[in-house]
Structure 1
Amino acid sequence: MPAYDKNDINRRMHGALEVLKHDLAGLRTGRASTALLDPIAVEVYGANMPINQVATVSVPEPRTISVQVWDRSNVSAVEKAIRNAGLGINPITDGQMIRLPIPELTEERRKELAKLAGQYAEKARIAVRNVRRDGMDALKTDEKKHEISEDEHKRLGTEVQKMTDDTIKDIDAAAHAKEQEILGK
């Protein structure tokens, strides 16, 4: 059984890209986005639950997120979780509806967030390079076991490098787009 598995390498590289996209979605840009609340867990019914399992989260206006809590008894727990999340947003409660006005970002905060987006992208690039290394090691192992020829090793090695280059190009594009969005360009 060959150690090299193209589908596994492709899946792991795209996994790193998906993690980056999820991390970038959580960065606040001055525009309202439901993804901003994704990492928040609310303590209700004796358990920590994602906010979208206790309320409907929507964006009625470009600078407002609304959270419609389903169970009236959970409103204060949801509000507390949002306050403690460190997003710099002050929730306004009106019955079972919690409104989150998104404040304008300062220039300094925009630069910090753009830098953070760059750090997320670098983590993703490192993850992709590690997957490439695993793939190249698997090819070397297969060649030593005489499961593939030297030519096959070279051809598949080129294929792994192309997958790596393409994924890193996607990572760079996602990070660049997020940085532009944060900096308001």
Structure 2
Amino acid sequence: MAGHAARLMKPMFPLMYSPIGRIGTNTCKRLQWNHQIGQSCSRLPISVIQPTTVELMQCSAIHTTQILAKKDKGKKKKGTKVDTTTSADTSILDLGEVKRDMDKALEILKHDYIKSLSIRSSHGSLDHIQVETSDGKFPLNHLAQIATKSNNMMVVNMSNFPQATEAAAQAIQQSGMNLNPEVDGHTIKVPVPKVTKEHRENLAKVAKTMCNETKVNIRNVRNKYATIIKKHGQGKSKDVVFKLEKQIQQLLDESNNSATDILAAKTKELLGK
């Protein structure tokens, strides 16, 4: 019988280590083993079969630790932020210049929103419309004189570029602002639509397009300075170059978030929410 008990007492699991300690781990193994052998332990000494309260708590703590460790393993680690107040190497890059260029793109977006997008259409809302001509694409306000004739009518004078009149009318119609231009010689009359839900939604789409264009401009700023880092960072410490790249990437992310916030505020205004 002693030999039988000895065989039963042989560990069935490899030894594990945990913050609880070796004793708690062995106890946990023994509890698993006792559970498996069931009634075969009925003739073993009670101290072998029955765990103490402390041992039960240790076993539970080990299992909890293992479960939490698995959960933490599956989580993505977020990248740590870097300090963008000072350049990692001012001889390579002026970080303030990067920020100014990105901020400039954001200011242009704000200005264009005020000038071009409002619930009541104004002549400023036509300025940014791109017109396809034989010489390339041009903003409408580069080809024509735009004026507000009344609260219900805008007038586009194409006398400086009469050959682009039809193309301009088509561009206005396809602008997504629910406009139906009427061509009269070298003049395009644009009736101002009533403020409808569809009109508000179309303006919101235009706002999103303008925001995406701003993000492209911000990304171009990042690419410009990334090239500078690559060029002037030759022979410098890899850690310094890496930190500079992280700094301009973080400025890009922050500027994109600002552009998204500006868009959200403008969309809320346009949709009347």
With the shorter chain as reference, the TM-score category is: 0.5 to 0.7
Number of matched pairs: 172
Partner of residue 128 from structure 2, selected from 38, 49, 52: 38
TM-score under structure 2 length normalisation: 0.43
Cα gap change, 1:163 to 1:81, in 2 (>3 Å): closer
Partner of 1:57: 146
Cα gap change, 1:47 to 1:116, in 2 (>3 Å): closer
Partner of residue 262 from structure 2, selected from 169, 174, 177: 174
Structure with higher Rg: it is 2
TM-score under structure 1 length normalisation: 0.57
CA-based RMSD: 4.8
Letter in 2 for 1:6: L
SS of match in other structure, 1:3: coil
Partner of 1:3: 92
Cα gap change, 1:117 to 1:54, in 2 (>3 Å): closer
CA distance in 1, matches of 2:216, 2:156: 36
Cα gap change, 1:120 to 1:67, in 2 (>3 Å): closer
1:16 to 2:105 alignment: yes
Checking the alignment, whether the CA contact within 8 Å between 1:42 and 1:51 is kept in structure 2 is: no
Checking the alignment, whether the CA contact within 8 Å between 2:180 and 2:191 is kept in structure 1 is: yes
Partner of 1:102: 192
CA distance in 2, matches of 1:105, 1:98: 21
Q: Deviations over 1:71-126 (max 9, x none)?
A: 5x81x731x22332203422234454322112125424534543663575467568
CA distance in 1, matches of 2:145, 2:264: 31
Q: Looking at both structures, which has the greater relative contact order when contacts are Cα pairs under 8 Å and sequence separation is at least 6?
A: 1
CA distance in 2, matches of 1:128, 1:47: 27
Q: Deviations over 1:38-60 (max 9, x none)?
A: 333263xx534543344211223
Checking the alignment, whether the CA contact within 8 Å between 1:40 and 1:81 is kept in structure 2 is: no
Q: Which has the higher strand share?
A: 1
Checking the alignment, whether the CA contact within 8 Å between 1:55 and 1:70 is kept in structure 2 is: yes
Q: Deviations over 1:20-71 (max 9, x none)?
A: 447746557442232424333263xx53454334421122334432112325
What residue ranges of structure 1 are gaps of 5+ in the alignment? Answer: none
Letter in 2 for 1:183: L
Checking the alignment, whether the CA contact within 8 Å between 2:99 and 2:251 is kept in structure 1 is: no
CA distance in 1, matches of 2:210, 2:201: 14
Percent sequence identity over matched residues? 27
SS of match in other structure, 2:188: strand
Cα gap change, 1:65 to 1:115, in 2 (>3 Å): closer
Give 1:181 shift: 3.6
What residue ranges of structure 2 are gaps of 5+ in the alignment? Answer: 1-89
Checking the alignment, whether the CA contact within 8 Å between 2:140 and 2:168 is kept in structure 1 is: no
Checking the alignment, whether the CA contact within 8 Å between 1:29 and 1:182 is kept in structure 2 is: yes
Cα gap change, 1:99 to 1:17, in 2 (>3 Å): same
Partner of residue 158 from structure 2, selected from 69, 74, 83: 69
Cα gap change, 1:33 to 1:55, in 2 (>3 Å): closer
Cα gap change, 1:104 to 1:67, in 2 (>3 Å): same
